[in-house]
Each structure stands twice: as C-alpha cells, then as structure tokens.
Amino acid sequence: MASYELKNQATANTEVRISSGYPTKDHDNADLARLGKKPVLKRNFGILSTLGFSCTILATWEGLFGTFLIPLQNGGPAGAVYSYIFAWTGTACSFAVLSELVSMAPTSGGQYHWCAMLSPPRWMKPLSYITGWVTTIGWMSGFTSCAFMAGTEIQGVAILAHEYYDPKPWHGTLIMWATICLALAINGVGGKLLPRFETLVLVIHILGYFAILIPLTYMSDHKSNQEVFKEFVNGGGFATDGLAFFVGMTGCVFAFAGGDAAVHMAEEVANATVAIPRAVLLSVLINGTLGFTMLIATLFCMGNIEEAINTPTGYPYIEIFHQATDSIAGAVGMASVLLIIAVCSVIGMLAATSRQFWSFARDRAVPGWRLWSQVSPRTCTPTYSILLTMTVACLLGLVNIGSAVALNGIISMAVSGLYMSYLIVAALLMYRRCTGAISLYNSGDDMLVNVPGAKLMWGPFRIPGIWGMLINGYAIIYMTIVVFFSFWPSEMSVDKTTMNFSVVGTMGTIILALIYYVLRARHVYQGPVVDLHR
C-alpha cells in the first residue's frame, strides 16, 4: 500500500513540475525518492548560495597564496604558470564528470553512491566501501588543512605586524581551534543562516580579489616576461625539471581541491539535478579565471624570490605584499582580506565534510553509524556528524605542536584522498559509457534508478557523444597523474623533515577500514540503503 501511494505521489510530483514550468520542492523529493532516500534535510540552498558555497570552498585565488611555496620551490615562476594551466584544464574536465554524476544521483553520499550504482554487481560492496572511505579521508584531511592554514596564516600576519612576537607551534593550533569553533557555531544554527552567509561570502570573494589585485599591481615593481614565463627552478634537486614541475604542481591542484563540496550538500539544494552542475562548472570558470590572473599579477609583482620563500611568516604572499607596499600596515591590510575568506572557507568545509560523513554513516559503513546518522529535529542538520568532524580536526591539529612536517602530510592526504575517489568514479563512468549501459534522461520515470541493481539513467545534465568520451578520458589521465605525485616528497634527498607522510596516513586509514570491513562492515554495509521501495 505504501509503495502504491509513493508511486502515485511521485507521478503527481512530476505533473506539478510539468504544469508549473519550474522545479518544486516536491520534484526534488521525488528525485530523491527515485534513489530510494527519504528527504530529512531542508532544502535551503538556491543556485546563488550554492555557487557561493562552491566558489568559496574552492577559493582558488586565495588558496594559491597559501600554497604558493610549493610551485615556487619546484618549478619556479614559469612552472607555476604552466602547472596552473594544466591543473585548471584537468580540474574543469574532472568537475564536468562529477557534474554528470551528481545530475544522475544528487545525494550527499556523492562518490561512493556513484561507485555503487556504476560498479559490476560482484565488486559493488567492497569498491563503493573503499571509495567512501577515501572520500572521507580526503574531506577530513581537507577540512583540517583548511583550518590549519587559516590559523597559521593569522599567526604569520602577527609575526609580520609585531617584531617581538615569539611564535610557538601551539599558538597556531589554538587559533585553528578558534576558527573551527566559529564554523561550529554557524553550522549548528541551521535554517537559512548558512546559505545566506555563503551568498555574502561570494561577494567578498569577488570584491576581495580587486582589493588585492589593484594595490599589488599599482605599488610594486614589475618583472620581465623572461623572469615570469621562462624561469624554471628545481629546488628539490630532482633528476629533471619535468619531474620538479609535476611535484610542484600539487600546490596548484590543492588550490582547486574540494570541487565536490556542493555535491555533498545535494539534499539541501533546490533543483539539485540542475543547480549543482551549474554551480560546480561556474565555480571552475570563475575561480579559474580569478586564480590565473592573480597568479600572473603576483609573479610579475613579486620582489625577491628567496626572501619570499624564506620568510619567517611561513607564507610567501605575506612577504610579497610587504615588498610591494613597503609598509607593514599595507601588507597586514591586504593579508586580512585573505584571512577573512580563509575563515569563511572553514565554515563551508565543515558543512560539506559533515554531510559526506553523515551520508556514509546513514548507509551503515562506519563504526557507530546509528549515532552519526542522526539528524536534529530542531535544526534539520546532522549535529553528531558535525561534532565528530570538528573533534577529528581539533585532534589532528595537535600534530602541529610536535611536527609541522607531519601535518603537511595531512594536506597531501586531502589531495590524494579526494582525487582517488574522483578517479574511481570517472573510470567506472567511462566503462559504462563505452558499454552504452546508461539510458537517456526521462523525467516521467518514477521507478528506482541509479542505485545498485536498478536502471542507470542520465540526469538533465550530460555531455553527449565523442566530447563526453574525450573529457572523461582526459579527466582520468589528469587524476592519475595527480594521485601519483601527491605522494612524492618536496625534495629528492629525503629525511624526516622533508618526507611526505601522506602515503602512510592514506594507506594506513584504508587498511584500518578494510580490517573493519572484514570484522563488521561486510555484514551491515550493503551499499546505499534503499529506504523507499518504488
């Protein structure tokens, strides 16, 4: 009886959409029901707030300043330019693939759900389980990295502003904790606060770009074309400049990391099958353009490279601002714009990370899933998942007190974890593309679709024909390169201060997840749980 009523409801929802001419809340719930999920979160995000959410988590031009040291040491100015172009094109193709997938199945689970629906039946459970865990690793590491960078950037500005300040590692950890607590306060309120906040941050994101670009280009001395476009640096002592180029490229890749953030908010976005692909692709276009122009401007206006790399603040951009303005007050003012956006990015990162973990717990894949999958009836947010995400990041922040090198490995884990999950689903989508197993979009179909064992169907957004194959293929090549070099150290001669520990963290977590799978998860995890039967 319930199945019959649900079927009639879905049909009615489809009729509402056709007759009214625009998507409705009922339409979104019907799309979610076709994936077998109950709507338990409120859809407070629209296209503009989703775009703001995606843009400010990517924060490409701001993120470049935070990771500027990596391509400067391995690649130099010219390497930074060309690695950015490669990262931009590869990211655009990767996000186009993700946009196709979220249009097919707009759930907070994202990658592990897509893996489950695209995998051959015999590989569905273990492959989707591992994909879910590497996504969790990537997002937990990404959130920790974002909060750590926000805290230590504030500390770096304090070093510049106060000559007698004696910085300690635990100072950066405490500031990081304060940033996370602010993110918790905004995420814990629920309602329309977060979407409205993200819309405001989008404005700051764009206006802040001009607040940095104009004084930087106007007040600084300019370098020559030769110094910017032809000067390579192999600071890591690698065998070839090409190898140094790919190692340094991870800095540009990290500036684009987090493109699937809007995906994990899918169950809180109105008209998700269309709004999220638009927001994701627009964010790549907007952030890519702002980031590239800011990179070129910074390289032309950068003073002494050695002083920028060896600055006591820990962030070359602070020294670049100081050299450009020849004023501590001016440099602090310009850096403050980046600090505001960095803190705002932490707020969005907490939301995306907690939703991804909540969805994975909802499908019984993590220890204690009954607790982490609960949703607050008052705020309609996964409160326990938010608290766990915050706690994990705060504990990882303690690593900085003992070793900043080990915490830098957590930053690399964000890249390796996220791109491993992208790579798995992109390869599976290419496999299904080649076999022609995905049928064309049909808005009137009220059957279960895009879940394990059900029919595969494109969403409203897809790239048809040969272009879809080429973009999908290029994305796979790019992701493979990114994952491979995300485990490399920054120098050829490795010691405990230059070792990249991300391979230990990533593979160690996967091994622990596999142990849990053998002991417990294989009995309770069956892939994405179908709450509703059509």
Condensed to tens digits (0 to 9), the pLDDT of residues 48-85 reads 999 999 998 888 888 888 777 788 888 989 999 999 99
Extents of the domains making up the chain: 42-451+461-487+494-523
Backbone torsions φ then ψ of 171, nearest 5 degrees: -60, -45
The better pLDDT of the pair 274, 64 is held by 274
Other beta carbons less than 10 A from residue 456's beta carbon? 15
DSSP 527: S
Residue 531 confidence class, pLDDT cut points 50, 70, 90: confident
Q: Quote the pTM value.
A: 0.90
pLDDT at 25: 60
Structure tokens at 491: 């120098």
How confident is the model over 141-194, as pLDDT tens digits? 999 989 998 998 999 999 999 988 888 888 989 999 999 999 999 998 878 899
Q: What mean pLDDT comes out for the span 472-483?
A: 96
Mean pLDDT of the chain: 87
Is residue 347 predicted with pLDDT exceeding 60?
Answer: yes
Structure tokens at 67: 């990771």
How confident is the model over 277-295, as pLDDT tens digits? 999 999 999 999 999 999 9
φ/ψ region of 193 (left if φ > 0, alpha if ψ in -120 to 50, else beta) reads alpha
pLDDT at 460: 93
How confident is the model over 408-444, as pLDDT tens digits? 677 778 888 999 999 999 999 999 999 988 998 877 6
Is residue 23 predicted with pLDDT exceeding 60?
Answer: no
Q: What mean pLDDT comes out for the span 365-376?
A: 93
Class at the top of the CATH hierarchy for domain 42-451+461-487+494-523 = mainly alpha
φ/ψ region of 364 (left if φ > 0, alpha if ψ in -120 to 50, else beta) reads left
Helices (H), 222-315: 225-229, 241-255, 272-301, 305-309
How confident is the model over 389-400, as pLDDT tens digits? 999 999 988 887
In angstroms, the CA 287 to CA 423 distance is 22
Residue 353 confidence class, pLDDT cut points 50, 70, 90: very high
What is the 3-class SS of 427-440, one letter each residue? HHHHHHHHHCCCEC
Backbone torsions φ then ψ of 45, nearest 5 degrees: -95, 135
Q: What mean pLDDT comes out for the span 378-388?
A: 93
Is residue 127 predicted with pLDDT exceeding 50?
Answer: yes
Provide CB contacts within 8 A for 318, sequence distance 6+. 153, 156, 157, 160, 311, 331, 335
Q: What mean pLDDT comes out for the span 350-379?
A: 93
DSSP 262: G
Helices (H), 363-403: 369-372, 383-397, 399-402
Structure tokens at 416: 């390796």
Is residue 512 predicted with pLDDT exceeding 50?
Answer: yes
In angstroms, the CA 383 to CA 190 distance is 10
Judged by average pLDDT, the poorest of 33-37, 49-53, 93-97 is 33-37
Residue 398 CB-half CA count within 13 A: 4
Q: Are 265 and 351 in contact (CB under 8 A)?
A: yes
Is residue 20 predicted with pLDDT exceeding 70?
Answer: no
Q: What mean pLDDT comes out for the span 92-110?
A: 95
Give the start-end residues of each E strand in 6-45. none
Helices (H), 326-403: 328-362, 369-372, 383-397, 399-402
Residue 348 CB-half CA count within 13 A: 33
Percentage of residues in the chain with pLDDT exceeding 70? 93
Beta-bridge partner residues of 74:
234
In angstroms, the CA 188 to CA 192 distance is 12
pLDDT at 70: 82
How confident is the model over 200-244, as pLDDT tens digits? 999 999 999 999 999 999 988 888 899 889 889 888 889 898 999
